[in-house]
Chains A and B, each alone.
Chain A
């Protein structure tokens, strides 16, 4: 039997036309999720600053006091909580931005299915007091989770698929604009009589940010969808032996059973202190394996401050101080090192605040590019008489309600993080509920909007108002603490306030511009083809 459609004998393939169709169709489908990824990613660049803004006014740390020895704190927490000692637990060190230890404990809980419960807590290094549960002040972590898994089970794979389509959109965009990529590189037509501002915005941002977006797409795939190749390699190369694969990839795991002979852990803390004294070593966290047993191990993990994206890790056998494993600039695994480079580039935490601000501007510009792309699709469909008004209405509601809703909901999140009492039970759940309600409410009021410019203007004004209320609430509730924190060098609290004020000012400015009667690129007055 012969194929009825031989690709060689058919009409020639309309490569660019087909790619334009796929680019706009797939772009529209992924746009709400991609907008969330970039919007939440932009805010996540300042994760630790937001955490400091949220927590430290409630629980200031006395900088003048000496830190308690880590060994004492661990002993104290072991006595305080029914910690499951078998297995492993991690402690993150205090940093200049988040000045608390984070103990990732596992406690025995018979009501849980596995008999144990994850119990991460923040501990004051000066007093040893448990300040809060790690997820009590959830805002920064919630926005981060939105960025990589939408705070949904299995969400990271969904975001991985969105990232794959995003990479496709980038590459297809290059094909579509290949001929004009260099010729029109600096072209942004500001002539107000022209009607293609949206197309120019979409193209210019897309082209200018291409190296950045390619890096983000590839590193995002490595972070969220590496499971695909992990499974393939484990099945077909390593014949089911996952541990062999992990070892080759530089993720060695301790598989010893716990010894029944108990042992004092003092030497572990001496080893941590010794490692801390190494040149160019910045301690990030420690991991204990089989804490309190004769075969206990301690993994001391830090960063080599003299190199780019270089982890510096050593695993000791606590009983005799033997080095079990070591990773540093001389001894590294290419897979893990390559992954670390991508992750460092992804998070932009390698060259101070300047790079993060640049990343933030780029991420916001890409969010605008996504919205502009959707508007182009809608305008094109509106110009075609046979297009279904229903599909146009849905796309409009998703674009304005979904994207606008995320912006409003983020401002609601900031306000709730400040106003909810620190001792409120399930505080994090209340914050999530407020965020989701604000998002849904904005989506509902964005259905069948007749004047889109006026609607966007109102959403921007609402967001600005919420941010200003948050700043006012900050000072009404914590004026004294904020001033003390500033004097103690915790400048991120006021830094976040300044950023909120700046965003509010941009929101008001943009809202006023949208009310401007001069012609602007909107749904109502645009009908351009996608390719010019």
Chain B
């Protein structure tokens, strides 16, 4: 359970941050709206990923799927990092 908890926490944090950042880059609304939506959705995503990880039979199975999603979202963030937003 400790391993699964570690995976759930870390993958939840990384994916939530990556997706919140992506949302900020892509949403065509004012910065204050994007910040609020990003933060609220970020927490929800964090818990959603935790739910996913804990629902798997082991930490490795959860990590394989989350790792792939992280690779995709992180790559998208890296690409978008060079586009100024403010």
Q: Enumerate chain A interface residues (CB-CB to B < 8 A).
A: 3, 5-7, 10-11, 13-15, 18-19, 21-22, 25-26, 164, 167-168, 171-172, 175, 218, 221-222, 225-226, 228-229, 232-233, 236-238, 244-245, 248-250, 333-336, 338-339
Main secondary structure of the interface of B (DSSP, over half): helix
B57 touching A13, Cβ below 8 Å: yes
- Max chain B CB contacts within 10 Å: which of A238, A248, A336? A248
Query: What residues of B have a CB within 8 angstroms of the CB of A171 in the complex?
Result: 47-48, 51
* B71 close to chain A: CB less than 8 A: no
A5 and B60 contacting across the interface, CB-CB below 8 Å: yes
Q: Are B36 and A338 in contact (CB under 8 A)?
A: yes
Q: How far is the CA of A13 from the CA of B30 in the complex (A)?
A: 42
Among A164, A175, A229, A244, the most chain B Cβ lie within 10 Å of the Cβ of A229
A18, A26, A226, A248: the one within 8 Å of B39 (CB): A226
**B46 near A: Cβ within 8 Å?**
yes
Any A CB within 8 A of the CB of B76: no
The interface bits of chain B over 42-55 (1 if a CB of A lies within 8 angstroms of the residue's CB, else 0) are: 11101110110011
Q: Which residue of B lies closest to A248 (CB)?
A: B31
Q: A13-B56, A13-B61, A249-B32 are known contacts. Are A229 and B39 too (CB-CB below 8 A)?
A: yes
Binding site for A on B (CB under 8 A): 1, 4-5, 13, 17, 20-21, 24-25, 30-33, 35-36, 38-40, 42-44, 46-48, 50-51, 54-58, 60-61, 64-65, 77, 81, 85-86
A-chain residues with CB within 8 Å of residue B64 when the two chains form the complex = 3, 5-7
The count of A-to-B residue pairs whose CB atoms sit within 8 angstroms is 106
Please give, as numbers and ranges, the residues of chain B lying within 8 Å of A333 by CB-CB distance: 32
A250 and B21 in contact, given A7-B64, A18-B56, A171-B47 (Cβ under 8 angstroms):
no
Report which of A7, A164, A218, A249 forms a contact with B35, defined as CB distance below 8 A: A249
A222 vs B86: C-alpha distance when bound (angstroms): 24
Beta-carbon contact of B43 and A7 below 8 Å? no
Check B24–A22 contact: CB distance below 8 A.
no
Decide yes or no: A248 and B86 within 8 Å by CB, A13-B57, A233-B21, A334-B36 being known contacts. Answer: yes
Output the least CB separation between B43 and chain A (Å): 5
Q: How far is the CA of A172 from the CA of B4 in the complex (A)?
A: 15
Determine the distance from Cα of A520 to Cα of B86 in the docked complex, in whole angstroms. Answer: 63
Task: Please classify the interface of chain A as helix (H, G, I), strand (E, B), loop, or mixed, using the class held by over half of its residues.
Answer: helix
Identify 13 residue pairs between A and B in the complex whose beta-carbon atoms are under 8 Å apart, listed by A's number.
Answer: A5-B60, A13-B57, A19-B51, A19-B55, A164-B46, A164-B47, A221-B43, A222-B40, A232-B17, A232-B20, A236-B77, A237-B85, A249-B32
Contacts of B42 in A (CB 8 A): 228-229
Q: Which of B30, B43, B50, B56 contacts A334 (CB 8 A)?
A: B30
Which of chain A's residues has its CB closest to B35's CB?
Answer: A335
What A residues does B4 contact at CB under 8 A?
22
- Measured CB to CB, the closest approach of chain B to A11, in angstroms, equals 7
Partner of A26, one of B5, B20, B32, B48: B5
